[in-house]
Amino acid sequence: MGHDKLRKFAENETFSCLLQPSAAELLADGYFALRDHPVKGRWGERFASPDAPLVLELGCGKGEYTVALAERVPDKNYVGVDIKGARLWKGAKYATEHALGNVGFLRTRIEFITAFFAPDEVSELWLTFSDPQVRSENSRLTSPLFLERYSKFLAPGGLIHLKTDSQFLYQYTLAVCRANALPVVESSEDLYAEADRFDPCLTEVQTFYEGMFREQGYPIKYLCFRLSAAPAGTGADGLPEQRFVSPADFDADYWRSVEGHRTLFGRDTAETRRQKLKGR
């Protein structure tokens, strides 16, 4: 491990806005019986305005989007979630140095998210340039599996925002909404071409990957939808649980085939390499 990462990890320990729970404690009773973290239901205590609506960004990377939203919308509290401590360091350091009282960060795997947030504690979710996971539905952050997790803490009718360069993920998520009768609030296959009909924040605030894929000529897609308010059953933890279904009308093979070529840091992405090999 490089010295710079070690320095960042050490400095992370000093940031009060960054929560780094022990995975071993969460998993003490097994993967399917996660232990609740003490912060669950008490996130308001970590912010200057405890009663402000709570907004999550899942897979926040370096936290630049979380921070930018928090600066533009000071009457909401924001938590960026990611597993990479060296990435979170940048957002946590900025929030600390600028004394942002409405920003927090959580270092954990998104699969563990229900251990940290109580029913109705979160008002909105942002999914910004998530890996489309074109080979594994249950790994997609808009899959039925993840929607069930979100339904355990997202307030009834809570908003989920998706920004992506991936036509595959965008079309898949639309299909999930259709299959589960989830109301679509806004959608665009080319956000920047239709910027005048959206909140300026959507185009003025960009993630690192957003800028990278725009430079490669990929239209940025945006989708905002609501989770259903009524639960359909009870989970193993005794909490109300919404059951969601996979879309039967989604042609995964077709949408994989039209994804197009992408590079990250000058190299082909994993899926681009697969498509090239398939085409030989």
Residues with catalytic function: 131
Give the pair of three-digit tokens for residue 136. 């594994």
Question: By CB neighbour count within 10 A (0-12 exposed, 13-18 middle, 19+ buried), where does 16 fall?
Answer: exposed
Q: What are residue 221's DSSP bridge partners?
A: 164
Give the pair of three-digit tokens for residue 83. 């597993």
The residue behind tokens 């919308």 is 73
Question: By CB neighbour count within 10 A (0-12 exposed, 13-18 middle, 19+ buried), where does 168 fall?
Answer: buried
Give the pair of three-digit tokens for residue 197. 């009909």
Q: What is the CA radius of gyration of the chain?
A: 19
Q: Are 80 and 17 in contact (CB under 8 A)?
A: no
User: Among candidates 1, 11, 274, 238, which has minimal Cα distance to 133?
Assistant: 274
